[in-house]
A and B are shown apart, each in its own frame.
Chain A
Amino acid sequence: METPYQNHIDKADYDHVYEPAEDSFLLIDALEKDLEYLKNKNPTFCLEVGSGSGVVITAFGMAFPETFCMSTDVNFKACVMSKQTAAHNKVNLETCNMDLAGSFTDNVFDVIIFNPPYVVTDSEECGGSDITASWAGGVKGREITDRLLNMIPKKLANNGVFYLLLIEENIPDEVVQIMSNYGYKSETVIRRKVRNEQQLVLKIFK
């Protein structure tokens, strides 16, 4: 998979929107590792939740020109940036300023991708809509992730697949258990140590 062109982005905008970092690229690498699997799925609709700069969903759109790509973010500035990143890379992206995926009809998306705010913080710190919302994850760094996990059975199409980035502090085993209770399997697609952070991407499917 190709890395999208990002030089159009004004560096000052990263004061308001999460700048692509190792976690963003790990997620792209995970999708690339699963490229054959995804190609066989021939997805019609792909959604990235909390797309920030839009680099991940744009990379997906470049690799899957026949998939309709959508993204959401609670931060309007991130929505605008995602759309611009996609446009600069000739990807048609639809963006909604939305909390997670709550305003979509049921069971539409063949692929859902989420790089959540995963940093362990106080509960009070997470849940806003500015730059803090891009990293502050509350208790276990999972408060936002857990809300999306509970939506997945309603939002993912039958036979859909969900890619979720986590760090060890998020206790991935608990995530696997939550999704298992909903009838999903989980696999670790890729893991990487970045400075003192162990990052991994879970693939969740039936």
Chain B
Amino acid sequence: MKLITHNMLTSKCLKGVMTGYPLAINATDIKVTEVDFNPEFITRVIPKLDWEVLWAAANSIGHGEGLPKTLEPKFEEDEDLLKKVHKVLLEVEIEEGNLTCPESGRQFPISKGIPNMLLTEAEVQ
């Protein structure tokens, strides 16, 4: 699971959970693989992200180095920043670990890089 995916996952389907966002990450196995850098894509995706959630998630797994807590306007002109965002969004992958709902504490295992968000019928809103 990449952090771009984490940025759009919630546990709000759980009964009694209001936002379920962001999920806390506990990573036991992280792999970094090279992905072709596409500055146009990164520039297009940044405004669609919750930046603070990305920043906190990257730091929580030890890959936040060099990421600013808040984005400057005209970030698209800063190629160094775009490369850092590219790495943290697309190259860093959580292979094993789990995600935790911030409200209920319910854990969702990540195995083979795939988060298991399945709920039992009794857990659903």
Which of A's residues lie within 8 Å of B, judged by CB?
44-45, 66, 68, 70, 74, 76, 79-80, 83, 92, 94-99, 102-105, 108, 129
A44 touching B9 in the complex, CB below 8 Å, given contacts A92-B35, A97-B116:
no
Among A66, A68, A83, A129, max chain B CB count under 10 A is at A68
Once the chains are docked, how many angstroms separate the CA of A108 from the CA of B4?
12
Question: Are A96 and B44 interface neighbours, CB within 8 A?
Answer: no
Given contacts A74-B118, A105-B10, A129-B118, whether A94 and B41 have CB atoms under 8 Å apart is no
CA distance A108 to B48 in the complex (A): 8
- Complex: chain B residue closest to A108, CB-CB: B8
Q: What is the count of residue pairs linking A and B with beta-carbon distances less than 8 angstroms?
A: 65
With A66-B40, A68-B45: A95-B10 Cβ-Cβ less than 8 Å:
no
A98, B118: Cβ atoms closer than 8 Å: yes
Roughly how many angstroms separate A84 CA and B19 CA in the complex, as a whole number?
A: 32
Is residue B57 within 8 Å, beta carbon to beta carbon, of the partner chain? no
Note all chain B residues with C-beta closer than 8 A to A66: 38, 40-41
Residues of B within 8 A of A (CB): 1-2, 4-5, 7-11, 13, 21, 35, 38, 40-41, 44-45, 48, 90, 111-119
Q: How far is the CA of A79 from the CA of B40 in the complex (A)?
A: 29
Min CB–CB distance A38 → chain B (angstroms): 16
Which residue of B is nearest A99, CB measured? B118
Whether the Cβ atoms of A104 and B118 lie closer than 8 Å is no
- Please report the C-alpha to C-alpha distance between residue A103 and residue B119 in the assembled complex, in whole angstroms: 10
A44 touches B45 (CB 8 A): yes
Contact A96–B4 (Cβ < 8 Å) = no
Judge whether B114 and A83 touch: CB under 8 Å: yes
**Residue of chain A at shortest CB distance from B9:** A103
**Chain A residues whose CB sits within 8 angstroms of the CB of B11 once the complex forms:** 103
A96 pairs with B115, CB closer than 8 A: yes
Known: A66-B41, A99-B117, A104-B9. 14 other contacts (CB 8 A): A44-B48, A68-B4, A76-B116, A79-B114, A95-B113, A97-B117, A98-B118, A103-B13, A103-B117, A104-B10, A105-B7, A105-B8, A105-B9, A108-B8
